C-alpha cells in the first residue's frame, strides 16, 4: 500500500467513530421530532408537550439492580400521536385494522430505542398507558432530558427511553433498516 492509500485509510478510520458519535451525541434534549406515518411530522418542546392532556402515574419497576418507584407526569403517547399538531397515525381504511400493522419507534439521544405496537397503545385495542413523561416526583427530568418514556405495568425499566430525540411511526412490514432510525 502506498503512502496515499495509507493516509486515506487513516482518514476513514478517524471519520468512522466521529460520524457515529455525531449521530448519538447523548446528553439531555430540549426537543424531539415525530416522524414517519403521521399526518403532520412535528417538533415538540416542553411547552408543546405540556399543552397535551396531563397523565400521572405512580410506577414501580426494576432498574440498575434495585426496585424504583416514581410518580411520573406527562402525556400519553397515544394522545401525543393523535393531537391536532400531529394529526394522527396514517392508516389505510381499506385494510382491516391497519393500525395493528404500525409500530412506534422511540429513540433517545444515546441511540437507545424501544419499539411499541400501535395497537398496544390504541385505547380500542391494548390501551397501554405508555407515557411521554416530562416530570418525575414533581421535578423536571434534568439529566434524563425534557422527555422520557415511562410505562406502568412493565416490571423492568428496559423500555423506558430517556432523552427522547425522535418518535417514528412506521408500518411493521415496511419499516426501514435500523441504520435509518
Domain segments of the chain as ranges: 26-176
What SS3 class is residue 19?
Answer: helix
What pLDDT was estimated at residue 10?
Answer: 34
pTM value?
Answer: 0.84
Q: Which of 126, 120, 128, 118 is nearest to 167 (CA)?
A: 118
What SS3 class is residue 157?
Answer: helix
Looking at domain 26-176, which CATH architecture does it have? Alpha-Beta Complex (3.90)
Q: Kindly report the backbone phi and psi dihedral angles of residue 154, in degrees, each rounded to the nearest multiple of 5, phi listed first.
A: -75, 135
The residues of the chain scoring below 50 in pLDDT are 1-21
List the beta bridge partners of residue 59. Answer: 70
Please tell me the distance from the alpha carbon of residue 100 to that of residue 122, in angstroms, as a whole number.
Answer: 9
Q: Taken in order 170, 29, 48, 157, is the CA torsion positive or negative?
A: positive
What pLDDT was estimated at residue 38?
Answer: 98
- Alpha carbon 8 to its chain's center: 37
Please tell me the distance from the alpha carbon of residue 1 to that of residue 7, in angstroms, as a whole number.
Answer: 10
Amino acid at each position: 500500500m502506498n503512502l496515499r492509500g495509507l493516509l486515506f485509510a487513516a482518514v476513514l478510520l478517524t471519520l468512522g467513530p466521529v460520524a457515529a458519535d455525531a449521530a448519538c451525541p447523548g446528553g439531555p434534549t430540549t426537543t424531539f421530532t415525530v416522524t414517519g406515518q403521521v399526518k403532520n411530522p412535528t417538533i415538540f418542546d416542553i411547552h408543546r408537550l405540556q399543552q397535551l392532556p396531563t397523565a400521572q402515574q405512580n410506577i414501580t419497576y426494576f432498574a440498575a439492580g434495585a426496585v424504583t418507584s416514581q410518580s411520573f407526569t406527562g402525556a400519553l403517547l397515544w394522545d401525543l400521536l393523535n393531537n391536532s399538531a400531529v394529526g394522527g397515525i396514517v392508516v389505510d381504511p381499506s385494510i382491516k385494522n391497519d393500525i395493528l400493522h404500525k409500530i412506534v419507534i422511540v429513540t433517545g439521544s444515546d441511540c437507545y430505542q424501544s419499539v411499541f405496537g400501535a395497537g398496544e397503545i390504541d385505547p380500542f385495542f391494548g390501551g397501554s398507558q405508555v407515557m411521554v413523561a416530562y416530570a418525575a416526583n414533581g421535578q423536571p427530568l434534568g439529566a434524563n432530558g425534557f422527555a422520557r418514556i415511562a410505562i406502568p405495568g412493565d416490571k423492568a425499566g428496559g423500555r423506558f427511553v430517556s432523552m427522547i430525540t425522535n418518535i417514528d411511526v412506521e408500518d411493521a412490514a415496511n419499516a426501514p433498516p435500523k441504520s435509518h432510525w
